[in-house]
């Protein structure tokens, strides 16, 4: 990192979606100079920075040419040109998270192989080259079949419960994992700066919508034993250390019914499971990411108030210019914070915003989270 004042650094962010948008909100407080590259001229960040470039994030030439001007480059999405980032790094640009980590995480096969090689607890799996390979592993059923690349938000994941399901198996390189009989899904957002300081945000628990495979509710802190909590922190710290990563890492985990904590997957960036930290913690995940990549002291991750988070998804059956129904009723509720991502067009289940709910009582949190979910709707 060049020895400049942080306000003099030119910082480039690959991706201009909602994560970039919330990163900009934090960057303003420190007067940081942020530029964005995104393929969509109407992306959520489009009008928020003076230097917004339209270009394909996976195009080596586009990313390299764009990136040459910066002191520091980071990401808000991992589907970017790794070879361009490697070249930029060689030219002296700081890139965090490091390109080789982005490359590892782009492919679930490489990710799982890394966990196994580094003795990080994860469900058993086999690598498969196509549907015929999946069918050769009948003894593993019921199992979860995942595409190596191209999958996100549950789209590259399928349950293969019985032999009858084998016919629908993806026919591309992937992996077949043992189905984990989990008690809860947990997430720990952990940060590490170049000095090697590591700090975890409190463990959160997530419940996924059964059909959409997207987070339906998040609760912080997770209602788990102190022992499980310690296992979750130890796992998150172990992974970021073994990756030797600088930046923010979201570690998704399963708490099994017999009290084991297994890693599912990680994201080397700010994450949906850390959105509540904007209001509920002393430091938000967006600020923490900036602190980590700028090699500044990490902020306190302490929870100020228990919180819930609800994703605001486009209502099924509505496509077109977004209209928000129930806004006034939500804004009248105590401790309810609405975040809209500025996406003009809604479509079924598109992430259009999120709502954080804070309350001292876990019971009221659950109740208010349900009320928000039933009240606030995105239609067209």
- Chain residues in the site for ligand ADP (CB under 6 A): 123, 144, 146, 151-157, 177, 179-180, 185, 208, 213, 252, 264-265
Q: Measured from the CB atom, is 254 or 286 closer to ligand ADP?
A: 254
Please, what is the minimum distance in Å from the beta carbon of residue 151 to ligand ADP?
5
C-alpha 380/C-alpha 378 separation (Å) is: 7
Report which of 355, 347, 286 is spatially closest to residue 76, judged by C-alpha positions: 286
Question: Could you identify the residue written with the tokens 């900036």?
Answer: 290
Q: Measured from the CB atom, is 64 or 152 closer to ligand ADP?
A: 152
Q: Which segments of 209-350 are extended strands (E)?
A: 215-220, 247-256, 261-267, 307-313, 320-321, 323-325, 336-340, 345-346
Please, what is the minimum distance in Å from the beta carbon of residue 185 to ligand ADP?
6
- Residue with nearest beta carbon to ligand ADP: 180
Q: Measured from the CB atom, is 114 or 337 closer to ligand ADP?
A: 114
Question: What would the two tokens of residue 92 be?
Answer: 């002296």
Q: Measured from the CB atom, is 124 or 361 closer to ligand ADP?
A: 124
Question: What would the two tokens of residue 28 be?
Answer: 């303003």
Please, what is the minimum distance in Å from the beta carbon of residue 131 to ligand ADP?
19
Whether the Cβ atoms of residue 293 and residue 209 lie closer than 8 Å to each other: no
Please, what is the minimum distance in Å from the beta carbon of residue 296 to ligand ADP?
30
Q: Measured from the CB atom, is 263 or 312 closer to ligand ADP?
A: 263
Q: Measured from the CB atom, is 173 or 326 closer to ligand ADP?
A: 173
Count CA atoms closer than 13 A to 86's CA, side-chain side. Answer: 8
349: left (phi over 0), alpha (psi -120 to 50) or beta: left
C-alpha 76/C-alpha 286 separation (Å) is: 10
Type and span of the H or E element at 200: strand 198-200
Please, what is the minimum distance in Å from the beta carbon of residue 293 to ligand ADP?
23
Please, what is the minimum distance in Å from the beta carbon of residue 207 to ligand ADP?
9
Q: Measured from the CB atom, is 155 or 195 closer to ligand ADP?
A: 155
Please, what is the minimum distance in Å from the beta carbon of residue 105 to ligand ADP?
10
Whether the Cβ atoms of residue 72 and residue 94 lie closer than 8 Å to each other: yes
Q: Measured from the CB atom, is 146 or 276 closer to ligand ADP?
A: 146
Please, what is the minimum distance in Å from the beta carbon of residue 285 to ligand ADP?
18
User: Is cis: bond before 97, omega within 30 of 0?
Assistant: yes
> Would you call 28 helix, strand, or coil by DSSP?
helix
**Residue partners of 119: CB distance under 8 A and separation at least 6:** none
Whether the Cβ atoms of residue 81 and residue 58 lie closer than 8 Å to each other: yes
């Amino acid at each position: 990192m060049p020895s400049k004042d942080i306000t003099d650094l030119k910082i480039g962010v690959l991706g201009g979606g909602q994560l970039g948008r919330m990163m900009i909100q934090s960057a303003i407080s420190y007067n940081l100079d942020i530029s964005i590259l995104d393929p969509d001229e109407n992306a959520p960040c489009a009008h928020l920075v003076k230097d917004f470039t339209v270009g394909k994030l996976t195009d080596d030439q586009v990313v390299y040419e764009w990136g040459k001007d910066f002191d520091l480059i980071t990401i808000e999405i991992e589907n970017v040109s790794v070879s361009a980032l490697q070249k930029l790094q060689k030219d002296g640009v700081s890139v965090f998270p490091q390109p080789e980590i982005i490359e590892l995480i782009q492919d679930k096969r490489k990710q799982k192989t890394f966990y196994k090689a580094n003795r990080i607890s994860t469900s058993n799996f086999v690598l498969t080259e196509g549907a015929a390979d999946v069918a050769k592993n009948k003894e593993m059923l019921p199992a979860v079949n995942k595409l190596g690349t191209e999958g996100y938000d549950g789209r590259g994941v399928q349950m293969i419960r019985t032999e009858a399901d084998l016919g629908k198996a993806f026919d591309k390189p992937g992996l077949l994992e043992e189905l984990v009989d989990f008690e809860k899904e947990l997430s720990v957002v952990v940060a590490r700066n170049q000095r090697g300081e590591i700090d975890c945000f409190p463990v959160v628990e997530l419940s996924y919508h059964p059909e959409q495979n997207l987070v339906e509710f998040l609760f912080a802190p997770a209602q788990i034993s102190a022992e499980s909590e310690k296992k979750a922190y130890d796992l998150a710290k172990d992974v970021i250390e073994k990756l030797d990563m600088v930046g923010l890492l979201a570690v998704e985990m399963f708490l099994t019914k017999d009290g084991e904590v297994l890693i599912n997957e990680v994201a080397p960036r700010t994450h949906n499971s850390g959105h509540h930290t904007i209001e509920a913690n002393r430091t938000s995940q967006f600020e923490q990411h900036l602190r980590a990549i700028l090699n500044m002291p990490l902020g306190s991750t302490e929870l100020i108030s228990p919180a819930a988070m609800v994703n605001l998804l486009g209502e099924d059956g509505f496509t077109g210019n977004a209209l928000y129904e129930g806004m006034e009723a939500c804004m009248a509720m105590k401790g309810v914070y609405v975040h809209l991502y500025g996406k003009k067009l809604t479509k079924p289940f598109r992430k259009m915003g999120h709502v954080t709910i804070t309350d001292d009582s876990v019971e009221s949190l659950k109740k208010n989270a349900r009320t928000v979910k039933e009240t606030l709707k995105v239609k067209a």
